[in-house]
Amino acid sequence: MKSIKNDFPNPVLAEGRDDYIPGCYFYTHFEEAEISITDDSIDIPLDYKLVCYGLEQLIVNDQAKVVVNVRSSAASYSRMVVFDNDNQKITIRIPKYGVIRNIEIQGFIVANTVIENFACPDEFNPLYFDRETFEIRKGDILATEDIKTIFVDDSELEKPISSIFNISCNEELKTEIEINYESEKIEIYLNPNLNSLYRHFINFNKTGSLRRYANAIIVYPVLVEIIGFMRACEHDTSAEYDHFKDLRWYRAIVKKAEKYDYSFTEPKMSDVAFADTLLKDIASDAMQSFKSVLDQEANSGETEYLGGAD
């Protein structure tokens, strides 16, 4: 127990610590169903719950702030978001293509000023902090929580949490690639060789710089075929295809089609163009990401050559 307490010079309210009495808690919260995607951003409505009178009063008196650290390590994206003192809700807006693989969210309560005699009477655990006070510096952590992770998929159509595509390796596959429409997600099976290449490009240089390019190669043609299949389903008046219409991937694409005023029975664009629209111009984005990597490699080589000449 003592080793846990050595992490901070003052009592900290957090799950797994007993600096405070039972019944005191702090955490942030979001609902995956409420996360939305615009053309440019991922919007996450977030709120926090705090039960601790002493810390609540620090926030009311502007002596402490509730802040959230939002980061995506693979993309070197990181920022701090601060709640208004009189509002326990906030919407975090993240650049849509500024994050890769996952988004990590962690809430804190931090001191907003120097507090010379910090105490939470009757709320500190009396076994450790009976009538003690602490000198708090500006920026000191007063409460924290475990990291929450939202997984991001570049091939996502509806939400950034769980893609309608599931890409996996099938060692018994006799062709390079196969797809299955029967599940809640569109199952894309790759043979071992193609899967190895796909994973290599997804994790290229550990930066994800070619992730969009790799997804375009695999997902784009699959979605083109899916759209053609859906048009056939919508034209067929029998009940043969009805069970597909209840699947998550089918409903997700229909929902997006409504947003773009697209009709499967009377389409105003080709399957290729509509697939590119659904994937947010993935064709040009993928080629641009590939070009950027090539340019970086070329510039790196040129710099090395010129340096050697000097």
Tens of pLDDT, residue by residue over 92-150, are 999 887 787 788 999 999 999 999 999 998 999 999 887 889 999 999 999 999 999 88
Q: What is the pLDDT of residue 201?
A: 82
pLDDT of amino acid 87: 94
Report the predicted TM-score, pTM, of the whole model to 2 decimal places. 0.56
- Domains and their CATH numbers in the chain: 11-151 (2.60.40), 165-302 (no CATH)
Collect contacts of 292-297 with beta carbons under 8 A, ≥24 apart.
292/209, 293/204, 293/209, 293/210
Distance separating alpha carbons of residues 163 and 298, to the nearest angstrom: 34
Complete DSSP assignment for 184-251: SSEEEEE-HHHHHHHHHHHTGGGTTTTHHHHHHHHHHHHHHHHHHHHHHHHH--SSTTGGGGGSHHHH
User: Which residue, among 107, 126, 122, has the nearest Cα to 26 in the 3D structure?
Assistant: 107
Whether the CB-CB separation of 148 and 28 falls below 8 Å is answered with yes
In angstroms, the CA 223 to CA 20 distance is 53
pLDDT at residue 156 greater than cutoff 90:
no
The mean of the pLDDT values for the chain is 84
At residue 161 the predicted structure's pLDDT band, cuts being 50, 70 and 90, is very low
Smallest Cα–Cα separation from 107: which of 66, 63, 46, 157? 66
- Which stretches within 6-148 are classed as H helix? 53-60, 126-129
Residue 112 is predicted with a pLDDT of: 96
pLDDT band at 205 (very low <50, low <70, confident <90, very high): low
Q: Identify the pLDDT of residue 39.
A: 74
Instruction: Provide the pairing of β-strand 25-29 with 77-82.
Output: unpaired
